[in-house]
Amino acid sequence: MHDVNMTDWFTIETIDRDTFAISEYKHWEETHCYLLCGTEKAVLIDTGLGVDNIKRIVDSLTSLPVMVVTTHIHWDHIGGHKHFKDIAVHEKEKDWLSVQFPIPLQAVKSNLMCKPCDFPKNFNIEEYQIFNGTPQRILYDGDCLDLGDRKLTVIHTPGHSPGHCCFYELDRKYLFSGDLIYQGCLDAFYPTTDPQLFLQSVRKIQHLSISRVLPGHHQLNIPVNIIGRIENGFSKLSDEGKLKQGNGVFDFEDFQIHI
């Protein structure tokens, strides 16, 4: 269906001739980053775990100037931000990037190492740091990112985190869904999450015309109808009075909701 190129750590999959998924399948998080190339610039959506240099991969795919746009400021999506100069984040999470990340470094390291993994040879957990820096651009709901003959719309979708964003490309009907939509366990259980806002955000993107969902984790090729099924799952929990933190994990076949 599309070209697949493996490096020692990253897997590069061609979505179309100027859209690439850069994935970390060797790690339990199975993170996806996405490189979108226009005629004037490129956008890299998220930068993954930061255990190997994603810029090396990006540079092999494009010579355009690259802006990193962030679905949300969680450690597994900003690990490679250190390799780039032009970074954009939603205004509700700019302080997580430039002032104080909400989780201690030791907790992040524990998460990173909690399951066996064949890390790259040059990776040293003792030297691992959470990226800290000032974003060059602040994103707001409805912003348009123009790459030259290619436009992305910023959609603020809080719930998994206060400043979580999806990125929507109307022309190709692509939704880059971050941690709002994927096949796996959807997390709305820790203090900075909000399960009610999560439900509202899923409803917000339901109105879009979508041909392809490009998620932040796990299986890359997921059915578009998972959006409606996730909305149904959250709605069911809400109707039953269970959409409150501390209620545990609810299983809906190809996804779970952890609240």
Looking at residue 245, which CATH number applies to its domain?
3.60.15.10
Phi and psi at 126, nearest 5°, equal: -65, -30
**How many domains in the chain?**
1
Give the tokens for residue 254.
């190809």
Q: What is the pLDDT of residue 178?
A: 98
- In the sheet that holds 249-251, the strands lie side by side as 185-187, 256-258, 249-251
Q: What is the pLDDT of residue 6?
A: 72
Q: What is the pLDDT of residue 1?
A: 45
Rounded to an integer, what distance in angstroms lies between the CA atom of residue 71 and that of residue 164? 5
Q: What is the pLDDT of residue 222?
A: 98
Assign 3-state DSSP to the chain and report helix, strand, coil percentages, each to 5: 20, 25, 50
Phi and psi at 32, nearest 5°, equal: -120, 135
Rounded to an integer, what distance in angstroms lies between the CA atom of residue 97 and that of residue 214? 24
The 3-state DSSP class for residue 250 equals strand
Task: Supply the pTM of this predicted model.
Answer: 0.97
**pLDDT, tens digit only, all 259 positions of the chain:** 467 777 789 999 999 999 999 999 999 999 999 999 999 999 999 999 999 999 999 999 999 999 999 999 999 999 999 999 999 999 999 999 999 999 999 999 999 999 999 999 999 999 999 999 999 999 999 999 999 999 999 999 999 999 999 999 999 999 999 999 999 999 999 999 999 999 999 999 999 999 999 999 999 999 999 999 999 999 999 999 999 999 999 999 999 999 9
β-pair type (87-90, 137-139): parallel
Domain that holds residue 81: 4-258
Rounded to an integer, what distance in angstroms lies between the CA atom of residue 171 and that of residue 35? 16
**Which residues lie below 8 Å from residue 137, measured CB to CB, with a gap of 6+?**
67, 86, 87, 88, 89
